Copies of this chain bind each other. A is one copy, B any other.
Amino acid sequence: MTVMQERAMLTREKVIAGAADVFYRLGFGGATLADIIAAAGVTKGALYFHFPSKDDVAFAVIDAEHEIATAAATRILESSSGPLESMLRLCADLAERLTTDPIVRAGIRLTTETSTFDRSVTRPYEDWLATFETLARAATVAGELRADTDAEKLAHFIIPAFTGVQMVSDVFTERADLRQRVREMWEILLPGLVPPGSQGSSERMLAAAFPAR
């Protein structure tokens, strides 16, 4: 990589970090390019070189968030003891990041504000839906979920439900209760999803995904 390329990449990262901060605080509608320039500490020219419009900056933040979450998801899938535990741990991990990682917080806020954009933001949802559908199918084959589970329907409920849980937690407690609410979501869901007599393994999975602190 040349010095110029390195400098360009550094500028890009600075813009994304600054933009994440601004979008998280002000939302897409409230943020201006001037706010982002100030927060990122770059020149106007540098910003426009990388991102011709506010939409482009917002999509870059969403992409950065998605990259972070995808890398984390890969680590979880590789280290879980089974597909159902993976589903719980993915939810727990995203809940954690939503309270601590500035780029993830901003990316999710922008994604849920999607209708403000000209282009609609469905890709992050689609990736999560596909991942959870695959996991639900595997968990059914493994006997962790009831044999009559409809993996597509289940994934298409869990992802929207999680989306709503994090949103309402944000409104009421700025996500201070998010981890607990996500755990409760699984406490409510598991009894209807697992085969009869699985109470013990459900409790083990909850403990693995939401360890006591």
Contacts and interface: CB of A to CB of B under 8 A. Distances in A.
Interface of A: 27-30, 109, 112-116, 120-122, 125, 153-154, 156-157, 159-165, 167-172, 181, 184-185, 187-193
A149 to B, nearest CB: 9
Quick one: copies of this chain in the complex? 2
9 contacts: A27-B29, A29-B116, A113-B113, A120-B171, A157-B184, A157-B188, A159-B164, A162-B164, A163-B168
Contacts of A112: 112, 167
A115 B171 CA distance: 7
A57 to B, nearest CB: 15
A170 B115 CA distance: 9
A8 B154 CA distance: 50
A115 B109 contact: yes
Contacts of A172: 122, 125
Contact of A164 (B30, B120, B121, B164): B164
Contacts of A193: 188, 192
B167 A160 contact: yes
A30 B114 CA distance: 12
Nearest to A31: B29
Nearest to A189: B192
A164 B171 contact: no
A163 B165 CA distance: 8
Contacts of A116: 27, 29-30
A190 B188 contact: no
